[in-house]
A and B are shown apart, each in its own frame.
Chain A
Amino acid sequence: MSKYTEEELQKELETKEYEYGFYTDIESDTFPKGLNEDIVRAISKKKNEPEWMTEWRLDAFRIWSEMEEPDWANVHYEKPDFQAISYYSAPKKADPNKTLDDVDPELLEMYKKLGISIDEQKKLQGIAIDIVVDSVSVATTFKNTLAEKGIIFCPISEAIQEHPELVKKYIGTVVPKTDNFYAALNSAVFTDGSFCYIPKGVRCPMELSTYFRINEAGTGQFERTLVIADESSYVSYLEGCTAPSRDENQLHAAVVELIAMDDAEIKYSTVQNWFPGDANGKGGVFNFVTKRGLCETNSKISWTQVETGSAVTWKYPSCVLKGDNSVGEFYSIAVTNNYQQADTGTKMIHLGKNTKSTIISKGISAGKSQNSYRGLVQIASKAENARNFSQCDSLLMGNKCGAHTFPYIEAKNKSAQIEHEATTSKIGEDQIFYCNQRGIDTEKAIALIVNGFSKEVLNKLPMEFAVEAQKLLEISLEGSVG
């Protein structure tokens, strides 16, 4: 990661102007709007990619061109005009004249509540900071520790250069280009993302997150992440940023692919807090994400997500339980407030024998928002003794929001054991009054009730993340009960 600092990027951009002759009105770091094969080629060239990658992208583009945007999800929004989007924007440069005084005070207040340091705040706001040297050296130290164990952890663009054999072998194997509209789009135009490889028998000694938190904040619209855990390895990966990113990007279409080989385990945790739009439902990010993991024999993939942001979320982190005895888990908290809409859940595809999956989904709706759980549990005919347990709980605040549950169960093997539990509850005035009577004000009471409701999932997050996620839940729901 450290190789690709903003400074270097800036330098690169300064020297590479005019190199791409297909546009006339030149801005050094943004492509013209619209999408065609030339743009796809240009992205690939900008990234200095080998021929096979360019072709892969072009193939994805052709597939995408034939597809239609899906509309089965329980969300309503104006479809983006894909020709009105610019598909390459370099990460924002630090403006030397900008200081924290220029930043929206409301945002700073939120940072303060989240306990984000001044330097991180500056970084998030694209303000130049003077301790870059320090954080780069920290990053390098990490990188050395990881390298000693043979772990590769770098931007995917770097992996395409340095480890083409791995990328070529695995990219698109879990989420193929043809998978869905947004996955095809991502495959054609992805500009950033991470690559992670854990060699056989290696237990990654740290959560791949700590220094990432800052760097990830500026990543683009189309992220591509590929995590490969080789046989008997273990990795815990954290993505996202608890700080609210007021990105101007309207559309985020990321693809995440996880591969857990025999006896390997991947824990993937996400805290998503994209700009949800204002209290009147204006603006906000569309988050259309495809996340899927492939489990080989005796392996385990565990997804944990806390979703509080975005105007529209469309996301189903899934597990393909291909190997016998493999285990898939999905723990989710999705919060919607104001006019937010979320349609999220998971797919557990049981192919191997004795495969097991657990789904715990907690939806919290406030304001005028709509929150849907959509989950598929599929047991293939050869999946003897497959087991699934699903629990979907919804918590409503106020009378104007909605909670919906769409469970799909397809069992083609008689030995399957599938359990589904669902509850819907409302934060009652009686609960609030009870807390008030004990000296706890209404805001704090809601936070307490919501945290209690979400506890099973919060407990699955790594410690430091859990604390931040808890604060984030409180902030997301502030003022939601009048």
Chain B
Amino acid sequence: MLHIKNLHAGIEEKGILKGINLEVKAGEVHAIMGPNGSGKSTLSSVIAGKEEYEVTEGEIFLNGENIEELGPEERAHEGVFLSFQYPVEIPGVSVTNFVKTAINETRKAKGLEEMPASEMLKKIREKAELLEIDRRFLSRSLNEGFSGGEKKRNEIFQMAMLEPKLAILDETDSGLDIDALRIVANGVNKLRSEDNAVIVITHYQRLLDYIVPDYVHVLHNGKIVKSGTKELALELEEKGYDWIKQEATI
């Protein structure tokens, strides 16, 4: 699904990612953990194709295809979804309208007709129920005046609607109370299948109790310094990141 080879990237001449290697296969869940400033969010932005980041070395393959030349919307059309750590507000554009536009633009890019209104409605109803979203919420302006938890839930709702091949959840757990966390995680789990993959970027082990990863990677100073299974996350929870940092500098 996703294959990253020796990725170096940065912003305005400042190198942040310094040789990332990662392979994510269909059906897998990978967790990327690491201390603040280790490059976690940069990695997600670079995969999604944010233009202010420059890739200086290395390659990213999606389903065997090098995506270097693809713009962010084209990557989205290929099935990349990023759940933002800080989703932006778009005043006057309702959640429903936004999701509808996103779905239809993606369909258009694939040469498909717009989704019929009845199908769209059915899907919205179904996914809103899955994430325990009140229908009134859907008519509100996108992220405007949303609480932290509402924003994150809205991200996962969009993910459910768009059914991506590769979902990257960037600190989706931050700002969520335990009930919201459970709902969101439950939503993500229901969307998992043999055909898609999830990358969970998080600080804490907490989310991984609910979304259980197949692999855990520790990012430090722009590199993956340790990889393991879910036990690694528990170890990190217990010991903190310092021992990793030390190990990395040795």
Point out the residue from B72, B87, B92 that lies within 8 Å of A455, measured CB to CB.
B92
A429 touching B93 in the complex, CB below 8 Å, given contacts A438-B102, A440-B101: no
1/0 contact string of A210-240 vs chain B (CB within 8 Å): 0000000000000000000000000000000
Q: Which of A434-457 contact B (CB under 8 A)?
A: 434-442, 444, 448-449, 451-456
* Distance in Å: Cβ of B70 to nearest Cβ of chain A: 11
**Interfacial chain A residues near B109, Cβ < 8 Å:** 439
* Distance in Å: Cβ of B19 to nearest Cβ of chain A: 25
A438 and B84 CA atoms in complex are apart in Å by 11
A455 and B98 CA atoms in complex are apart in Å by 14
A428 interfacial contact with B, CB 8 Å: yes
A81 interfacial contact with B, CB 8 Å: no
A10 and B172 CA atoms in complex are apart in Å by 71
A433 interfacial contact with B, CB 8 Å: yes
**Interfacial chain B residues near A437, Cβ < 8 Å:** 48-49, 72-73, 76, 80-82, 84
B92–A444 touching, CB < 8 Å: no
A438 and B90 CA atoms in complex are apart in Å by 13
A8 interfacial contact with B, CB 8 Å: no
Point out the residue from A431, A433, A441, A448 that lies within 8 Å of B50, measured CB to CB.
A433
A430 and B86 CA atoms in complex are apart in Å by 10
**Interfacial chain A residues near B68, Cβ < 8 Å:** none
A116 and B191 CA atoms in complex are apart in Å by 44
B106 interfacial contact with A, CB 8 Å: yes
Chain A residue at minimal CB-CB distance from B89: A431
A444–B88 touching, CB < 8 Å: no
**Interfacial chain A residues near B31, Cβ < 8 Å:** none
Point out the residue from A438, A440, A442, A453 that lies within 8 Å of B91, measured CB to CB.
A453
A442 and B76 CA atoms in complex are apart in Å by 13
B72–A436 touching, CB < 8 Å: yes
A429–B52 touching, CB < 8 Å: yes
B33 interfacial contact with A, CB 8 Å: no
B141 interfacial contact with A, CB 8 Å: yes
Number of interface residues of B (CB under 8 A): 31
A434–B87 touching, CB < 8 Å: yes
A378 and B50 CA atoms in complex are apart in Å by 49
**Interfacial chain A residues near B82, Cβ < 8 Å:** 437
B88–A428 touching, CB < 8 Å: yes
A439 touching B162 in the complex, CB below 8 Å, given contacts A434-B87, A444-B105: yes
**Interfacial chain A residues near B51, Cβ < 8 Å:** 433
**Interfacial chain B residues near A448, Cβ < 8 Å:** 90, 93, 97-98, 101
A369 and B105 CA atoms in complex are apart in Å by 30
A439–B88 touching, CB < 8 Å: no
A438–B162 touching, CB < 8 Å: yes
A439 touching B105 in the complex, CB below 8 Å, given contacts A431-B88, A453-B92: yes
A148 and B60 CA atoms in complex are apart in Å by 73
Q: Which of B45-85 contact A (CB under 8 A)?
A: 48-52, 71-73, 76-77, 80-82, 84
A435 and B93 CA atoms in complex are apart in Å by 12
A441–B92 touching, CB < 8 Å: no
**Interfacial chain A residues near B102, Cβ < 8 Å:** 435, 438-440
A449 and B141 CA atoms in complex are apart in Å by 11
**Interfacial chain B residues near A451, Cβ < 8 Å:** 92-93
**Interfacial chain A residues near B98, Cβ < 8 Å:** 438, 448
Which of A428, A437, A449, A454: most chain B Cβ within 10 A? A437
Which of B52, B84, B91: most chain A Cβ within 10 A? B91
B90–A439 touching, CB < 8 Å: no
Q: Which of A99-151 contact B (CB under 8 A)?
A: none
A440 touching B73 in the complex, CB below 8 Å, given contacts A433-B50, A434-B84, A434-B87: yes
A428 and B87 CA atoms in complex are apart in Å by 13
**Interfacial chain B residues near A438, Cβ < 8 Å:** 76, 81, 98, 102, 105, 158, 162
A452–B93 touching, CB < 8 Å: yes
* Distance in Å: Cβ of A429 to nearest Cβ of chain B: 7
A448 and B52 CA atoms in complex are apart in Å by 22
Point out the residue from B73, B91, B103 that lies within 8 Å of A436, measured CB to CB.
B73
A453 and B97 CA atoms in complex are apart in Å by 14
* Distance in Å: Cβ of A470 to nearest Cβ of chain B: 12
A452–B105 touching, CB < 8 Å: no
1/0 contact string of A196-216 vs chain B (CB within 8 Å): 000000000000000000000
A110 and B224 CA atoms in complex are apart in Å by 52
Chain B residue at minimal CB-CB distance from A427: B90
Chain A residue at minimal CB-CB distance from B48: A437
A452 touching B141 in the complex, CB below 8 Å, given contacts A428-B88, A444-B105: yes
**Interfacial chain A residues near B71, Cβ < 8 Å:** 436, 441
Residues of B within 8 A of A (CB): 48-52, 71-73, 76-77, 80-82, 84, 87-88, 90-93, 97-98, 101-103, 105-106, 109, 141, 158, 162
Residues of A within 8 A of B (CB): 428-431, 433-442, 444, 448-449, 451-456
| 15 contacts across the A-B interface (CB closer than 8 A) | A428-B88, A430-B88, A434-B87, A434-B88, A434-B90, A435-B102, A436-B76, A437-B84, A438-B81, A439-B102, A439-B106, A440-B101, A448-B90, A448-B101, A456-B92
Given contacts A430-B88, A441-B105, 7 further A-B contacts (CB under 8 A): A437-B76, A438-B76, A438-B98, A448-B93, A448-B97, A449-B90, A451-B92
